[in-house]
Structure 1
Amino acid sequence: MRIAIHTLGCKVNQYETAALEKELRRRGHQLVPFEAEADAYIVNTCTVTAVSDKKSRQTIRQARRRSPGALVAVCGCYAQTAPRAVEELGVDLVAGTAGRMAFLDDLEALLAARTAGAEGPRPAPLVTVDDIMAHRTFEPLSGQGLEGRTRAMLKVEDGCVNFCTYCVIPYARGRVRSLPAADAARQAAELAGAGYREIVLTGIEISSWGEDLEGRPQLIDLLEAVCAALPAGVRLRLGSLEPRTVTEAFCRRAAALPALCPHFHLSMQSGCDAVLARMGRKYDTARYYESVSLLRTWFHRPGITTDLIVGFPGETEEEFQETLAFLRRCAFSSMHIFPYSRRTGTRAARMPGQIPNRVKEERAHRAAQVAGEMERAWLASWAGEVLPVLFEEEKDGLWRGHAPNYAQVFAPGEDLHGRELPVEIVGAGEHGLLGRVSG
C-alpha cells in the first residue's frame, strides 16, 4: 500500500515517525510524499501550543480533502489530549502517544478491510487512545537517522512529571519512562555502524532519564555508557536539559568524554524569578546562571542555547525588562522565543493577568532583537578560529555543516557529505559562519 506521513512538532515526534517509516517499509508498504495520492495518510500531531493544535487540524483536513477515499490515521500528542476533536474531523483511526506498532497493526487491518470492499457506509473511527499515565515502561523503537543525513536521533526517554503551570505535555506523554543504558549504548553503536557520524540523544525530558530505573542512575551515567560504545570520530549531542542537571560533578565527568559535543540547550522560559515561580519552574535565575557558569568553566567556549516564553500571565513590563537583562548576562549563542500560549486545563490558563496578544507579539519581537544581537556577537567571535565541521548538504554552491558547538558553517568544496574536516572561519553570514576547508 502507498502510505504518506506528515510530522508536526519536536524531535521526539520526528524520531517516532522515522521508526514508523522503517517499520512500514519492513512490512512491504511504499512511502510516498504527503502531497501525493496515497491509500493511507498518517498525521503525527503536536499540542505544545494552540498554534500546534491548529496546524494539526489543518493537516488532517488536507489529507481528507486530498484523497476522500483514503484512510486517515492520526497519532501523537494532540490526538492523545483531544481524541474527540480529532474523531470529529472525519478520520478513520485515532491513537495517542504509546503503542506505535499496535497503531500500525490497526492501520493495516483497516486497509485490509477497505481492500476487501466491504459494503455500506464508512464505519465509525477506531479510537485506541488510553490513559497515558498508566504506562510505566519505555516503548523501544529503532534508532533512526533522517534519510540523506549524517545525524541520527536516539530516543532514550519519554514522559515528564514536572507539571509546569503552562504545559500540557505531561498529560500527552505521561510519566517518565527510560531506555536502559545498555540498550541505548547498543543502539548508538548500531547507528554508528550504519554510517551516522553524530548521534543526538532525545526525549521529552532527558534530564529525568533514569528516575524509573533500578538504582535511579543519572543522565551522566547514560552519557558515559553511550560514549564508551561509540567508535572514534562519532559525536554525541544532547537534547534539551533542565538547568539543575548541570552540577560540578556532571561537568567534571562530561568534560572527560571526547565524543560529547560542547553544546548545551538549557531550558529557561523566563529570566525573572517572580515569573519562574508562577510558571512552576524548579530553579531561579541564580541557579540557572550557576549552570551557565559551570559549563563555561569546564568546556571551551560551549554553545549555550535556550527557550524563552514571553507574555506569561501577570508578566509586567518591569519583569520583562528583568528577563531582557538576564538574557544579555547569559550571552546565549542562539534562542527560541515563543509568545505564551494559553492551554485549557493548565493552571496558567486560569491565572489572572492574561496578556493581550499584541503585547505578547511586541515582547517576542523585542526579545528576538536581543537574541539576534547575542547570536551575531557569538558568531563574530569565532573569526580566525579553526573548527571541525561535519558536513551535511550542499546548497547554493556552499556545503553546510555543524561544528561541535552547533554553529552552522558554510564552506565551498566538492563532495563533502558526511566528512568531518577542519574549517578556518573567515567571517559570519546571515545564517551562520563562513569558512574554508583547511585540511
Structure 2
Amino acid sequence: MNKLFYIETYGCKLNQLDTERVRNALHAAGYTETDDPEVAELIVVNSCAVTGNAEKESRYRLRRLQRANPDARKYFIGCFTEIQNLPDTVFLRGEEKFQIQELMGHLPSYPEIQEKHVRPLVHIQNGCDLNCTYCIVPYFRGSSRSIARDEVLDQVKAVIHAGRKEAVLTGIHLGTWGKDLTPKQHFLDLLRFLDKHTVNQLKIRISSLDSNEIPDDLIEYLQNSEIVQPHFHIPLQSGSVGILKRMKRRYSPNQFLSVVNKIHGAIPEACLGADVIVGFPGETDEEFKECFSFISKTPLDYLHVFPFSPRTGTPAATMPDQVPEPLKRERVKQLKALSDDRRKQFAQRFIGKHRTGILIYPDLVLTDNYISVHLNTSTDISPGSEMRVKPTHIASQGSVHGILV
C-alpha cells in the first residue's frame, strides 16, 4: 500500500509554486496524495505570515491537524515568526523548506505541469530589498534574486509542452528582475526574450509590477505586445502622501497616477488593479478621505483591500496611533464597495464584445483582460484551452455571464 501525504497551502503565488515542488518531491519519494488528513502518514502545511491573520490561520490548521492525526509526521514550512513545540513536527522557515529535499529525496528545480494547472506559474524572481515599514516578507524571503532567463525559458517551454496557453510570471518583486545578474538586465529584456522564443505559442500574464518600475519604453512594448495579456496589477497601498512616506514606499500618488493613466491611454482595454492597505498606523479620517478621493480619480478597475496587520519585527508594528479594528473594517468596507462598482463598470464596457480567454472550469472563462465569464452551459473542452467568449450580461450580484463564440 502506498504511503499517503496531505498538504495545505496558504498565501502568495510563490508559496503555491513552492508547494508544487514539495508535492513532486513526495511523489518521487513514493508517496501518494490524499485529501483526508486523518489517514496521511505525512502532513505538510505551507504557511503564510504576510498578515497576522494569515499566520494565525496557518497555525490554527496545524493544531487541528495535530489533533486529527497525532501520529503523522508533520512539516510546517514557509513563512512564520515563531516555532511551536508540537510533537512529530518539523519547522522549516523560508528557504529552509527545501530541506525536505534532504529528508524526502530529490526536489526538482521546478514543478511538473499537472492537469489541474490551467494557468501555470513561472518563477522568475525571489526576495525583496525594499524593507517597507509594514512588510515582513524580506525577513523570510531574503534579498532580491533573479532566475536566469534561460531557466525562465525552460519553465515556459514546459508550459507550452503541456499544452497550456497562458503562464503567469511570478515572484516577490518582479520589477527588480535582472538587476543582480551579470551583465545587468531589466524586466523588459526578459519579456522581449520570451516574446522572441514563444511566438504564437503562449500568452504571458504579469502578476504584479510597482509603478516606479514601469518606464515609458515598457508601456510602449506592452501596447504592441502579442504575448502579454492586457491585465496589470500595480500595488498602490495608499493614496495618501503622508502614509506612503510612513510606509517607505518609493513613489508618490501623483507618480502612480501618471503611470496608470499612461497605461490606460495606451491600452484602453487593459484591466488595471491595485493593492490597498487600510488603517495603517496614524491613518486619520483626512488621510483615508485623501486615499479614497485619489483612487476615485484613477482608472483602476479593481482593488485588493487589506486591513493593516502589525507584524512583529517591522517598524510599523510599534508605530504610535494604531487604528482601532472597527474603524479599519469600516474603511475596508468603503473601498471594497468602490472596487465592486469599478469591476462592474469595467465588465460593462465589454458586454456583447468578443474576447479571447482561458477556460478555467467547464463553465468559466477568464478573459485576456481579467473578466471572469460564467458560461450559460458547460463545455466538454479541456480546462486550460484558449477560447473565444462573448459576455452577454451582468447578473444582479455582479457576476458576468456569456457564451462561447
2:4–2:32 contact (8 Å) kept in structure 1:
yes
Q: Tell me the distance in 2 between the aligned counterparts of 1:59 and 1:144.
A: 27
* Aligned-residue offset at 1:290: 1.2
The residue matched to 1:151 in structure 2 has which SS?
coil
1:145–1:151 contact (8 Å) kept in structure 2:
no
Query: Relative to structure 1, is the Cα distance of residues 8 and 303 closer, same or farther in structure 2, using a 3 angstrom cutoff?
Result: same
2:381: which partner in 1?
Answer: 416
2:153: which partner in 1?
Answer: 185
1:95: which partner in 2?
Answer: 92
**What are the residue-to-residue correspondences of 1:20-59 with 2, within 5 Å?**
20-59=22-61
1:50-99 residue CA offsets vs partner (Å, 9 max, x unmatched): 10111111111122112111101111011xx32xx33x233431112215
The residue matched to 1:287 in structure 2 has which SS?
helix
Query: Relative to structure 1, is the Cα distance of residues 90 and 431 closer, same or farther in structure 2, using a 3 angstrom cutoff?
Result: farther
RMSD of aligned C-alpha atoms?
A: 1.9
* Aligned-residue offset at 1:3: 1.2
Unaligned runs of 5+ in 2: none
* Aligned-residue offset at 1:416: 3.0
TM-score (norm 2): 0.94
* Aligned-residue offset at 1:226: 2.0
1:76: which partner in 2?
Answer: 78
Query: Relative to structure 1, is the Cα distance of residues 206 and 26 closer, same or farther in structure 2, using a 3 angstrom cutoff?
Result: same
Amino acid paired to 2:92 = A
Q: Tell me the distance in 1 between the aligned counterparts of 2:288 and 2:205.
A: 32
1:222-269 residue CA offsets vs partner (Å, 9 max, x unmatched): 112223232524210011111112111111123332011010000010
**What are the residue-to-residue correspondences of 1:351-362 with 2, within 5 Å?**
351-362=319-330
1:140–1:179 contact (8 Å) kept in structure 2:
no
**What are the residue-to-residue correspondences of 1:286-301 with 2, within 5 Å?**
286-301=254-269
User: Does the alignment pair 1:63 with 2:65?
Assistant: yes
**What are the residue-to-residue correspondences of 1:355-434 with 2, within 5 Å?**
355-394=323-362, 399-411=363-375, 412-417=377-382, 418-429=384-395, 430=397, 432-434=399-401
2:290: which partner in 1?
Answer: 322
1:143–1:188 contact (8 Å) kept in structure 2:
no
The residue matched to 2:224 in structure 1 has which SS?
coil
* Aligned-residue offset at 1:141: 2.7
Query: Relative to structure 1, is the Cα distance of residues 285 and 334 closer, same or farther in structure 2, using a 3 angstrom cutoff?
Result: same
1:15–1:144 contact (8 Å) kept in structure 2:
no
1:388–1:421 contact (8 Å) kept in structure 2:
yes
* Aligned-residue offset at 1:380: 1.3
* Aligned-residue offset at 1:34: 5.0
1:277-298 residue CA offsets vs partner (Å, 9 max, x unmatched): 1111000001101110121122
1:60–1:89 contact (8 Å) kept in structure 2:
no
Q: Tell me the distance in 2 between the aligned counterparts of 1:376 and 1:305.
A: 13
2:305: which partner in 1?
Answer: 337
Q: Alignment partner for residue 104 of structure 1, among 101, 116, 121?
A: 101
Give the aligned length. 400
1:306–1:336 contact (8 Å) kept in structure 2:
yes
Amino acid paired to 1:26 = A
TM-score (norm 1): 0.87
Query: Relative to structure 1, is the Cα distance of residues 140 and 413 closer, same or farther in structure 2, using a 3 angstrom cutoff?
Result: closer
The residue matched to 2:124 in structure 1 has which SS?
strand
Query: Relative to structure 1, is the Cα distance of residues 403 and 279 closer, same or farther in structure 2, using a 3 angstrom cutoff?
Result: same
Amino acid paired to 2:279 = G
* Aligned-residue offset at 1:167: 0.7
Query: Relative to structure 1, is the Cα distance of residues 34 and 290 closer, same or farther in structure 2, using a 3 angstrom cutoff?
Result: farther
Query: Relative to structure 1, is the Cα distance of residues 407 and 233 closer, same or farther in structure 2, using a 3 angstrom cutoff?
Result: farther
Amino acid paired to 2:401 = L
